[in-house]
Amino acid sequence: MSEEFDPKIIGFCCQWCSYAGADLAGVSRFSYPTNVQIIRMMCSGRVDPIHILEAFKSGADGVLVTGCHPGDCHYVDGNSAARKRVTFMKEILERIDIDPERLRLEWISASEGGKFAETIKEFVEAIREKRELKILPKETDAAIETFKENRIRWMLGVSLSETNVDKDKYVLAVEKVKQDELERQMMLNEMRAKGPLTIREISDATGLGPDRVFQHMIALRKKGSISEAGEREAKFLYEVVM
């Protein structure tokens, strides 16, 4: 008989509400699985997408983000920021072949110790059914680098209500930026790891078409992220500018 899978869960908890709820669950002797590592945050809005990706990269099978109920945030709109980031992150996770359901957002107040315990139980069981997470290292590293880019950081901070553009156009623009940045970081990571490469070599390593790689190379050169590094078999080599 195979041994039951015991998932590793990382829980980011808001200090003012959900972390206090976790404390109440303990004081009230509500039982819940102990394979959850809780990380206290000043606010759920302080949970950065890079924190989530690093958690998965470090071996977490699931990540839980918990915060104050809407309208109860001690920092006014921190939980709104958390909701936006988690929604944004789920789309990125899908692109790097991580089931978005492995990331969950839940509102838990300081008085809801019972809800905290039940949420942990439900999430652990849901992740147990999905089995151990096998990440794609290259894609995950590219996603981490993507969230260091200014364009992506800006999109995480701005809300649709602050823009005077059509909603559908806004969504399409965001999708394009996410895809572009993720692909460019995959290309840059290949050059960092292997040194100067040709467009064909980058295409083979990333799975992107040569035309797509060429378009990204133009953008990366304009930005100053890459430069020419000689030739190999009559084809230009490109390297990352340190």
Mark whether 60 and 123 lie in a shared domain. Answer: yes
- Give the pLDDT band (50/70/90) at residue 1: very low
What tens digit of pLDDT does each residue of 51-63 get? 999 999 999 999 9
H-only helix segments in 72-166: 78-95, 113-130, 137-146, 150-157
Mark whether 105 and 171 lie in a shared domain. Answer: no
Calpha distance 237→28 (Å, rounded): 64
Tell me which of 100, 120, 135 is where a domain ends. Answer: 135
Q: What is the mean pLDDT of residues 174-186?
A: 93
Residues 6+ apart with CB under 8 A from 57: 135, 137, 140, 141, 144
Mark whether 52 and 166 lie in a shared domain. Answer: no
pLDDT at 60: 97
Mark whether 142 and 131 lie in a shared domain. Answer: no
Strands 103-107 and 62-67: what pairing?
Answer: parallel
* Residue that wins the pLDDT comparison between 169 and 91: 91
Mean pLDDT of the chain: 92
pLDDT at 159: 59
In a domain, residue 1? The reply is no
Count of CB atoms situated within 10 Å of the CB of 134: 8
C-alpha closest to that of 178 among 213, 218, 142: 142
pLDDT at 161: 53
Q: What is the mean pLDDT of residues 105-123?
A: 96
Of 43-47, 102-106, 156-160, 199-203, the least confident: 156-160
Domain containing residue 205: CATH number:
1.10.10.10
Mark whether 81 and 112 lie in a shared domain. Answer: yes
In a domain, residue 28? The reply is yes
Q: What is the domain extent for residue 142?
A: 138-240
**Residue 225 pLDDT > 70, yes or no?**
yes
Tell me which of 86, 112, 135 is where a domain ends. Answer: 135
H-only helix segments in the chain: 18-27, 49-57, 78-95, 113-130, 137-146, 150-157, 167-194, 199-206, 210-223
In a domain, residue 67? The reply is yes
pLDDT at 56: 98
Strands 9-14 and 226-232: what pairing?
Answer: unpaired
Residues 102 and 133 sit within 8 Å (Cβ to Cβ): yes
Mark whether 196 and 143 lie in a shared domain. Answer: yes
In a domain, residue 4? The reply is no
CA distances from 40 to 15, 20, 29, 117, 200 (A): 6, 10, 20, 16, 46
- Give the pLDDT band (50/70/90) at residue 19: very high
pLDDT at 169: 82
- Give the pLDDT band (50/70/90) at residue 154: confident
Percent of the chain with pLDDT over 70: 95
